[in-house]
Structure 1
Amino acid sequence: MISTQAWADAQELWDFQQMGHEARPCSVAIGLGSHDLGVADVTADLYHRGLTPLIVFTGATSRTTRDVMPRGEAEHYRERALDLGVPAEAILVEPRARNTGENITLSRALLEGHGVPVVSALLVSKPYEERRSYATACKIWPDVTWVSASAHMTYVEYVDSIQDARLVIDMLVGAQQRLMVYPDQGFMIRQEIPHPVIEAFERLRAAGFTSRLIPGRIT
């Protein structure tokens, strides 16, 4: 049972993760692998809207996806996009990345290997990881203009679609921790975090939403 306070705190983190970018034409769309096939749906929609001529799906498997996406996140995303009418020649697959930093690094190498010039990129993620993904991409590939994109859903709608509120809150807490910790480690750009967001994170951590936290970190 999720308490009223935990729901409110999760909403606080959800709202902070939203970058509020307006989708616009870009050199490429990069769909970040995860358990959520909705990322592939959004990426396919961006292609069909004429906002990108090329898609990269990136991701291996994780403890969350190894059973439901045994062929790898990027491959399952590719199959979904094909089912949605995206032509095979418009999709590149990067099958090795196991974290967001590798998603960007290996996608960059893949695009460079194919001789694709990238000035701007639509960065497609789960809604609750927009800011985390953006901060990582800006650090690793700073000469690209990044435009965040995700499914247009409210927090409650997203939880209903996943059917696992604890997983979503755990993921939100993990994403928030990384925004606080990773800039000091050189993995992300630093962003100002409002005090109410930090307080919400601390309450959720104290309430036990800790399965996606970095082991051994106090923050």
Structure 2
Amino acid sequence: MISERSWADAQLLWDYHQMHHEPRPCSVAIGLGSHDLGVADTTVDLYKRGMMPLIVFTGATSPTTRDRMPRGEAVHYRERALKLGVPSSAVLVEANARNTGENINFSKTLLEEAGVDVSSVLLVSKPYEERRAYATACKLWPKVEFVSASTVVAMGDYIASIGDASLVIDMLVGSLQRLLIYPDQGFMISQAVPEVVGDAYLRLRSQGFTNRLVPESFKF
């Protein structure tokens, strides 16, 4: 049973992880692979709204996607986009990335090899991965302007769609941990974490939401 305090703490992390950017036309969209096909759906919606002429879906497989996306996250995303009416000529696939840094670096290389001039990117992710993806992209591709986007959904509705509250809260905590420790490791830019968010993060860790943490020497 998840306590009311933990739900409230999870909501604080959920709100912080979103960048609250207003979508605008960009050179390209990069849809970050994951277990969530909603990323593909949101990318398609942005394409149909004229926000970009080209989509890159990036992602191999992970332990959480191997069964449900056996052909790879980016491949399943592309199939979803084509089913929703996006022409195949508007979708590139990067099928090797296994983490956010590789998502950005491999997509950058793919676009360079395709001769695409990129000045701005709509970076589409899960709602609770917006800030982490943005911080990583700004570090690895500093000459490009990034606009974060994700499915507009309340935390409770998102959890209901996934069907596993503990999994989502674990991921909220894991994403916050990476925002705290990865800047010192050179993986992303540093961003201020409000004290109320940091306190919520520590409480959730103390309640056992630790399954998505990475080993660390940094202590918040």
- Identify the TM-score tier after normalising by the shorter chain: over 0.9
Q: Which residue pairs with 1:129 in the alignment? A: 129
Equivalent position amino acid for 1:75 in 2? V
- Give distance in 1, aligned partners of 2:216 and 2:185: 15
Counterpart secondary structure, 2:182? helix
Cα displacement string for residues 12-40 of structure 1 (whole angstroms, at most 9, x for unaligned residues): 00010110100000000000000000000
- 1:46 and 2:56 equivalent? no
The 2-side partners of 1:84 and 1:5 are apart by 40
Shift of the alpha carbon at 1:215?
A: 2.6
Name 1:197's counterpart in structure 2.
197
Corresponding residue number in structure 2 for 1:18: 18
CA–CA distance in structure 2, aligned partners of residues 217 and 50 of structure 1:
45
Q: Which residue of 2 aligns with 1:141?
A: 141
Find the aligned partners of 1:104 and 1:18 in 2 and give their Cα distance: 19
Query: Amino acid of the residue matched to residue 48 of structure 1?
Result: K
Q: Counterparts of 2:5 and 2:109 in 1: how far apart (Å)? A: 44
Q: For residue 3 of structure 1, what is the aligned residue in structure 2?
A: 3
Q: Structure 1 217/68 Cα, relative in aligned 2: closer, same or farther at 3 Å?
A: farther
Give the drift of 1:139: 0.3
Is the partner of 2:41 in helix, strand or coil?
helix
Equivalent residue for 1:107? 107
Q: Identity of paired residues, percent? A: 69
Q: Distance in 2 between matches of 1:48 and 1:174?
A: 33
Letter of the 2:4 counterpart: T
Q: How much has 1:122 moved relative to structure 2?
A: 0.2
Question: Superposition pairs for residues 164-179 of structure 1, below 5 Å?
Answer: 164-179=164-179
User: Secondary structure of the equivalent of 1:85?
Assistant: coil
User: Which residue type is aligned with residue 92 of structure 2?
Assistant: L
Where does residue 36 of structure 1 map in the other structure? 36
* One-letter amino acid matched to 1:103: N
- Per the TM alignment, residue 217 of structure 1 is displaced from its structure 2 partner at its CA by 4.7
The alpha-carbon distance between structure 1 residues 217 and 76, as it changes in their structure 2 partners (threshold 3 A), is: farther
Cα distance in 2, alignment partners of residues 6 and 85 from structure 1: 40
Q: CA RMSD in A?
A: 0.8
* 1:169-207 CA-partner distances (Å, limit 9, x unpaired): 000000000000000001000011000111001011111
CA shift digits 1:51-74 (9 cap, x unpaired)? 100000000000100010000000
Q: What code does the residue aligned with 1:30 have?
A: I
SS of residue matched to 1:196: helix
- Cross-structure match for 1:119: 119
Structure 1 SS opposite 2:193: coil
Secondary structure of 2:56's partner?
A: strand
Partner Cα separation in structure 1 for residue 129 and residue 121 of structure 2: 16
The equivalent of 1:87 in structure 2 is 87
1:152 aligned residue = 152
What is the CA distance between 1:161 and its match in structure 2?
1.0
Q: Which residue of 1 aligns with 2:210?
A: 210
Q: Which residue in 2 is equivalent to 1:187?
A: 187
Match of 1:69 in 2: 69
Runs of 5+ consecutive residues of structure 1 not aligned to the other structure: none
Change (3 A) 1:163 1:57: same
Scaled by the length of structure 2, the TM-score of the pair is 0.98
Residue 161 of structure 1 corresponds to which residue in structure 2? 161
